[in-house]
């Protein structure tokens, strides 16, 4: 069953002196419920732009993005905020952790916004931090952790809120191969156990080996 349906999606950025720079051209794509799929392509292919549009972090220039029957391209700001809070988890290449919060507090934060009770937030956060192998660092702040450790906290934060879909932008970029494989196996396990849909943007062969499907982009278009 289709979870996400993209129809005739295009994105053009306007740069200095009103110069138009097309990032995506007439994208049509279906992502099924429980999918485990990678958007693959070289730098500049449009994969991160597409991922940002799927997560409503940016708005398309034209076209539609349906989550089930809801066109998220037409939502107002409050509806977009609610959609992102309750339906989508993000794993950013730049981590996007809150520097004034510990690892544990960063993981708890989304659940706090969701209104999850404190005891449940703590239990779920400790459990997921253990699963990503970072339980020793739960009281550390981001600047007290390595890049790989911060990325694992970012993965835990996305997973713990139990979203319907997780969008991951180059999630293995700052990890050693063993940690990357362990995290990918955890994501695959969650995909199978909890039916969480995962969409990656990547050029990592390890990710492409793990996913069920690869969507290849080049110059803003799907080529296969």
**Secondary structure letter of residue 73 according to DSSP:** G
Are 127 and 151 within 8 A, CB to CB? Answer: no
- CATH code for the domain defined by 2-96+164-222: 3.40.50.300
- Confidence at residue 120, expressed as pLDDT on a 0 to 100 scale: 96
pLDDT band of residue 58 (cuts 50, 70, 90) is very high
What are the tokens at 37?
Answer: 């799929």
- Confidence at residue 178, expressed as pLDDT on a 0 to 100 scale: 87
pLDDT tens digits for range 121-131: 999 999 999 98
pLDDT tens digits for range 159-216: 999 999 999 998 888 788 888 888 899 889 889 988 899 999 998 999 999 999 999 9
Distance in angstroms (rounded) separating the CA atoms of residues 198 and 187: 8
Helices 177-193, 147-160: axis angle to 10 degrees equals: 0
Q: Look-up: residue for tokens 């539609």?
A: 64
- Confidence at residue 65, expressed as pLDDT on a 0 to 100 scale: 95
Distance in angstroms (rounded) separating the CA atoms of residues 2 and 68: 7
Distance in angstroms (rounded) separating the CA atoms of residues 134 and 199: 24
- CA proximity to 54, closest of 75, 73, 36, 76: 73
Are 80 and 72 within 8 A, CB to CB? Answer: yes
The 221-222 sheet, strands edge to edge: 88-91, 165-169, 197-202, 36-40, 213-218, 221-222
pTM for the structure as a whole:
0.92
Is residue 93 over pLDDT 90?
no
pLDDT band of residue 139 (cuts 50, 70, 90) is very high
Report phi then psi at 165, rounded to 5: -140, 140
- Alpha helix segments (H runs only) across the chain: 47-54, 77-87, 103-114, 118-131, 147-160, 177-193, 205-210
Cβ atoms within 10 Å of 190's Cβ, excluding its own? 18
Distance in angstroms (rounded) separating the CA atoms of residues 39 and 213: 9
Q: What are the domain boundaries of the chain? A: 2-96+164-222
């Amino acid at each position: 069953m289709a979870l996400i349906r993209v129809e005739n999606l295009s994105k053009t950025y306007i740069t200095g002196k009103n110069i138009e720079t097309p990032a995506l051209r007439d994208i049509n794509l279906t992502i099924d419920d429980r999918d485990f799929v990678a958007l693959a392509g070289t730098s500049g292919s449009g994969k991160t732009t597409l991922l940002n549009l799927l997560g409503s972090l940016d708005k398309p220039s034209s076209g539609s993005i349906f989550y089930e029957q809801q066109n998220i391209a037409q939502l107002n700001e409050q509806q977009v905020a609610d959609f992102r809070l309750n339906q989508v988890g993000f794993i950013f290449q730049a981590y996007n952790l809150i520097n004034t919060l510990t690892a544990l507090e960063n993981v708890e934060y989304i659940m706090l916004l969701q209104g999850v009770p404190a005891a449940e937030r703590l239990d779920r956060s400790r459990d997921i931090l253990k699963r990503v192998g970072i339980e020793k660092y739960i009281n550390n702040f981001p600047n007290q952790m390595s890049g790989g450790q911060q990325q694992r906290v970012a993965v835990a934060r996305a997973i713990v809120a139990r979203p319907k879909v997780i969008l991951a932008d180059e999630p293995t970029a700052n990890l050693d191969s063993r940690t990357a494989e362990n995290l990918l196996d955890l994501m695959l396990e969650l995909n199978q156990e909890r039916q969480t849909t995962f969409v990656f943007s990547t050029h990592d062969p390890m990710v492409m080996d793990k996913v069920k499907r690869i969507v290849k982009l080049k110059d803003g278009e799907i080529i296969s």
